[in-house]
Amino acid sequence: MRALLNEIKKTIVFLGKTTEEGKIQFYATGFLVNIQNIFHLVTAKHVVVDPRTGKFVDSGMLAFFNLKDGTVGSRSIDQIKKSIAVNWIFHENDDVDIALIPFGLDPQKDDVKAIPENLFLRSDRLFELYDVFFLSYQPGIQPQKRYPQLSEMEL
């Protein structure tokens, strides 16, 4: 289980923007999944759409992740949307707070993983006492090869 969790941590990306002062402000996280051999970034819908106005608030959003050279890389969501002519995909039920967008990975440079489809379980096949885990970071934590620490009790 520990080996799986260490690899799953590489699926998490930070979401943020560059401030007017040129600093990075992190305010959300997302994770990467592989669905039918297409990588996607998944986050909460309220991160990209203002729930009060229904307008997109993702202009200038960057996704930050580790690179194999030990530094932190980023990708512009605006550039992804423009270069492959896509937009965020939402659940058909407006009350479901989830959003995803195709997200290219560079296996030569990016030190990230995508959760494979076979690790997902349909909710109608999920029962009490099944092990379920959720990984995320709180905004404000610097994304420099830092991962949540797990105690032996959690494994």
CA-angle at 106, arms to 103 and 107, nearest 5°: 125
Q: What is the mean pLDDT of residues 121-133?
A: 79
Q: Does a structural domain hold residue 141? A: no
Q: What single-letter DSSP state applies at residue 64?
A: E
The answer to whether position 147 is within a domain reads no
Domain for residue 13, yes or no?
yes
In a domain, 140, yes or no: no
pLDDT at residue 146 tops 80: no
Please list, in sequence order, all residues whose beta carbon lies within 8 angstroms of the beta carbon of residue 71, skipping any fewer than 6 positions away.
none
- How many domains does the chain fold into? 1
For all residues of the chain together, what is the average pLDDT? 82
| Interval 23-63: pLDDT, tens | 888 889 999 998 888 899 999 999 999 999 999 999 999 99
Contact 60, 17 (CB under 8 A): yes
Q: Is residue 14 part of a domain?
A: yes
pLDDT > 70 fraction of the chain, expressed in percent and rounded = 81
Residue 95 is assigned to a structural domain of this protein: yes
| Domain harbouring 98, CATH code | 2.40.10.10
List C-alpha distances in Å: 45 to 14, 33, 113, 126: 15, 16, 22, 23
